[in-house]
């Protein structure tokens, strides 16, 4: 009879762990080997663009500028349920000519033509993905995006927990490193990014080993920033006071996000449309009556003085 639990002393755990190699960075301290990581952003912010860059870097064994990558080139399976082949070609070519030379280590997969959306819990899809991974020796998987695996997981806590548990079982059984892309629900564009901005149940973030998000700057059209929200394999590095600043641009035949440096999230969230901010402040005063003015300012990513003036202006400062 097989046992469910593997019980050892704490000292034995440490001794056995010391015989295993330390997990290597796949995308700086944001995603490590053998982690189930979630990367989320609003629609049209550029998460698929960055995900392909990450996949390309791992497949080549060459880090993106500004980011660390450890280890040799690795096979990568990119499950792309977002872009058609022609849309993919447009991003990685010069007007459908002069294609970007991707590494042979990078495999891209999507649903077969004519099929409706399948769920990751479907035995057929599980078997097909596992068969490919075993056959090729690929141990790095990027899924774009989570909603195509299970729409129910975005609304139902039980489904979210089941999906994440199934993925963790697959990860442990094959020794995988998994990056799941996900959306944010509609949100105020000048509000700082947080775990609560991940669309769906809190079970998604709870079961993830790591969590990071891509935000759009309100100051410049093509400016973006990365913010770390959960980490287990390293120290917390890229919070609100030290986000990674990026810019979307296309170099010849490759659309990508280019490293600019580091900065504070609040500098990316300056609001020029004050009427929109005032509306957000008033709405929060009505819905979050227990919040102080300082808490409202922190939640909306604006100056506390702006909150005070707005509430006074509309007679809501009592």
Strand 140-144 vs strand 177-183: parallel, antiparallel, or unpaired?
parallel
Give the pLDDT confidence of 220-235 residue by residue, as tens digits: 899 999 999 999 999 9
Give the pLDDT confidence of 242-265 residue by residue, as tens digits: 999 999 999 999 999 999 999 999
Does 120 have pLDDT greater than 60? no
Instruction: Answer for the pair 281, 261: CB distance below 8 angstroms, yes or no.
Output: no
Position 279 confidence tier, pLDDT thresholds 50, 70, 90: confident
Both tokens assigned to 8: 């050892």
Does 117 have pLDDT greater than 60? no
pLDDT value at residue 33: 96
Both tokens assigned to 304: 């506390």
Both tokens assigned to 266: 């609040």
**What number of other Cβ atoms are within 10 A of residue 131's Cβ?**
10
Q: What is the dihedral of CA 219, 186, 29, 22, to 10 degrees?
A: -170
Position 36 confidence tier, pLDDT thresholds 50, 70, 90: very high
Interval 106-120 mean pLDDT: 73
DSSP β-bridge partners for residue 40: 182, 213
Does 24 have pLDDT greater than 90? yes
Q: What's the longest Cα–Cα distance across the chain? A: 72
Position 98 confidence tier, pLDDT thresholds 50, 70, 90: very high
Percent of all residues in the chain with a pLDDT value above 70, rounded to a whole number: 91
CA angle 262, 264, 267 (to 5 degrees): 115
Phi, psi of 9 (to 5 degrees): -75, 160
Q: Tally DSSP H helices, then E strands, for the chain.
A: 9, 11
**pTM for the whole thing?**
0.82
Closest among 189, 237, 173, 172 to 210, alpha carbons compared: 237
Sheet with 76-80, strands from edge to edge, namely 106-109, 76-80, 140-144, 177-183, 36-41, 210-216, 223-230, 243-251, 254-263
Distance CA 107, CA 14 (A): 37
Closest among 279, 278, 277, 299 to 290, alpha carbons compared: 299
Closest among 36, 9, 32, 11 to 21, alpha carbons compared: 32
Torsional sign, CA 198, 42, 156, 84 = negative
Does 55 have pLDDT greater than 90? yes
Closest among 145, 137, 132 to 50, alpha carbons compared: 145
Give the residue, 215 or 2, on which the prediction is more confident: 215
Q: Is 291 exposed, middle or buried (0-12, 13-18, 19+ CB in 10 A)?
A: middle
| Residues 6+ away with beta carbon under 8 Å from 277 | 190, 271, 300, 302, 306, 310
| Residues 6+ away with beta carbon under 8 Å from 97 | none
Both tokens assigned to 229: 């929200």
Distance CA 245, CA 264 (A): 9
| Residues 6+ away with beta carbon under 8 Å from 130 | 170, 174
DSSP β-bridge partners for residue 154: none
pLDDT value at residue 184: 85
């Amino acid at each position: 009879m097989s046992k469910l639990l593997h019980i050892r002393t704490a000292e034995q755990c440490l001794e056995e762990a010391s015989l295993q190699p330390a997990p290597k960075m796949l995308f700086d301290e944001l995603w490590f080997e053998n982690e189930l990581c979630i990367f989320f952003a609003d629609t049209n912010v550029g998460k698929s663009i960055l995900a392909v860059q990450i996949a390309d870097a791992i497949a080549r064994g060459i880090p993106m500028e500004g980011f660390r990558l450890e280890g040799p080139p690795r096979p990568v399976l990119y499950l792309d349920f977002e872009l058609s082949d022609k849309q993919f070609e447009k991003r990685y070519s010069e007007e459908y000519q002069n294609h970007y030379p991707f590494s042979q280590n990078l495999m891209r997969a999507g649903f077969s033509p004519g099929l409706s959306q399948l769920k990751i819990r479907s035995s057929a899809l599980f078997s097909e993905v596992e068969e490919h991974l075993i056959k090729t020796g690929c141990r790095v998987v990027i899924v774009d995006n989570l909603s195509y695996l299970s729409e129910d997981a975005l609304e139902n806590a039980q489904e979210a927990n089941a999906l994440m548990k199934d993925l963790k079982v697959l990860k442990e059984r094959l020794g995988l490193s998994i990056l799941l892309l996900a959306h944010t629900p509609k949100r105020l564009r000048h509000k700082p990014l947080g775990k609560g901005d991940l669309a769906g149940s809190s079970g998604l973030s709870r079961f993830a080993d790591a969590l990071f998000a891509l935000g759009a700057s309100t100051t410049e059209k093509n400016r973006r920033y990365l913010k770390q929200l959960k980490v287990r394999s390293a120290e917390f590095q890229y919070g609100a006071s030290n986000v990674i600043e990026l810019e979307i641009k296309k170099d010849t035949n490759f659309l990508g996000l280019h490293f600019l440096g580091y900065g504070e999230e609040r500098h990316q969230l300056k609001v020029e449309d004050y009427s929109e901010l005032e509306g957000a402040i008033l709405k929060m005063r009505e819905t979050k009556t227990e919040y102080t003015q300082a808490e409202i300012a922190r939640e909306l990513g604006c100056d506390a003085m702006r909150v005070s003036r707005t509430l006074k202006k509309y007679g809501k400062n009592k």
